[in-house]
Amino acid sequence: MKKFVFPILFCLFTFVGYAQQKYPYEMSEYTPSSENLKAREEFRNMRFGLFIHWGIYSVLGDGEWVMHNQRIPYDKYKRLADFFYPMDFDAREWVKIAKDAGMKYITITSRHHDGFSMFDTEASDYNIVDATPYGKDPLKELAEECKKEGIKLNFYYSLLDWGREDYGFGKKIVDGGPVDTDWDSYIEFMKTQLTELLTNYGEVGCVWFDGHWERKNANWHYDQIYSLIHDLSPATLIANNHHIQPIPGEDIQVFERDLPGENFAGYSKGVKVSKLPLETCATIGEAWGFNLNEKNYKSPKEIIHLLVKAAGKDANLLLNVGPMPNGKIQPEFVSILNEVGQWLKKYGETIYGTRGQIIPNQEWGTITAKDNTLFVHVLNQPGLPYVFIPQFDKKVLSATSFDKNVKLKFKQQKEGLFIYTGGLKENDIDQIIKLKIK
């Protein structure tokens, strides 16, 4: 009898494992349209975007998970809408902050896990226009301003909803949906909202989903959701922060708080870097949503290093701010972003429109490339009189310092390229070497 136990258990676990993965992969083949492929390249060229987490949770100044973390019952939490009046919100100011930081796109939370819609929607009254004294649609203003200023606008959209009955938060998933709830009605609700987002706000660069990880074994009906988006707007890119391999229908691969291929934050375990355009999202402080008690801010230097390392891995950086309940972005963020923008004014050529994955990122830094020019970013002093680029087989024509255009000595050998850094100007943030290759 015993000898059957192991095979039976094995089959059972294999089946459960398969069932867990089944739905995400139940997608038909996907061939992106030519508009979509063009949008992907434009997306890659942009390299730097502003993530905005803003909702009624900002009133409590304790991040966007406050309802969940402080175990606030939904009905009580809903009262926050009564006090949400962002009198200082000015879309022009936000877009200017992004532009001054050298950012090319904005991704804003249209609806987060608390289920509150920050836009005018017919699908639910629980939205900024109907449920707050403010009564206006900030996404509309933002869309108009972005269009005027040449900034792409993307919408974050939560799949997870802590409050709606048809989502059935906490319920067991059976046959792809939560028990005793009208899961189909939830899917329809999302489709209605996505249609609104894609038809009422001009061109939308990307829909950025999040929350899949809350119920990995549900049938999210991505086949319907993704084709709805691509049918309404072929150039709109689809991203999903699901922490698994991309699903057919998605156009970019996103990584949370980690560079592609890394897993320090713990969300990307076993996730392989795909051939899709890549994006990494990060916070300036600790939290995504406004945190009154924020203590640890990344320095401009740390952010520049993150941006450069992301570009070296061929990824965009989507850097987050959580505006305050009055609609202002806090001064700490503004000044940090401004310094990053100053750096980009001078060195943007080495980031925008470049491609990465030339070499794996090194202790000393990384490389970005544009046609026959490579930018070697020395972020940390190598501690030797040279920078060594392993397994480099492209023929180098010249090496010069980016700042002063001083010629640098180099030596090409079978094991790699040595560039002698003697002529490099001391630069505390990033010493850039320009390599011309054949």
Residue 233 found at the interface with ligand GLC (CB under 6 A)? no
Going residue by residue from 199 to 218, which x/- string records binding to ligand GLC, judged by CB under 6 A? -----------x--------
Is residue 89 a contact point for ligand GLC (CB under 6 A)? no
Site string for ligand GLC, 251-280 (x = CB under 6 A): -----x------------------------
Closest C-alpha among 297, 418, 436 to residue 364 = 418
- Name which of 110 and 431 has its Cβ closer to ligand GLC: 110
The residue among 145 and 210 lying less far from ligand GLC, judged by its C-beta, is: 210
Report, in Å, the least distance between residue 332 CB and ligand GLC.
20
Q: Which of 169, 164, 141 is nearest to 52 (CA)?
A: 141
Task: Find the distance separating the first CA and the last CA of the chain, reported in whole Å.
Answer: 70
161 binds ligand GLC (CB under 6 A): no
Using CB under 6 A as the binding rule, whether residue 281 contacts ligand GLC is answered as yes
Q: Which is nearer to ligand GLC, 288 or 364 (CB)?
A: 288
According to the binding rule CB under 6 A, does residue 241 interact with ligand GLC?
A: yes
Of the candidates 116, 157, 288, 347, which one interacts with ligand GLC according to CB under 6 A? 288
Q: Which pair of structure tokens corresponds to residue 429?
A: 């943030």
CA count, 13 A, side-chain hemisphere, 195: 10
In angstroms, give the least distance from the CB of 256 to ligand GLC: 4
Q: Which of residues 10-69 bind ligand GLC (CB under 6 A)?
A: 53, 64-65
* Cβ proximity to ligand GLC, 240 vs 431, nearer residue: 240
CB of 317 vs ligand GLC, minimal distance in Å? 13
Residue 253 to residue 375: CA distance in whole angstroms: 24
Phi, psi for 161 (deg, rounded to 5): -140, 115
Are the C-beta atoms of 323 and 333 separated by less than 8 Å? no
Pairing verdict, β 278-283 and 253-256: parallel
Contact 132, 103 (CB under 8 A): no
Question: Do residues 433 and 419 make contact, with C-beta atoms less than 8 angstroms apart?
Answer: yes
Q: How far is it, in rounded angstroms, from Cα 138 to Cα 149? A: 16
- Which residues contribute to the site for ligand GLC (CB under 6 A)? 53, 64-65, 210, 241, 256, 281, 288
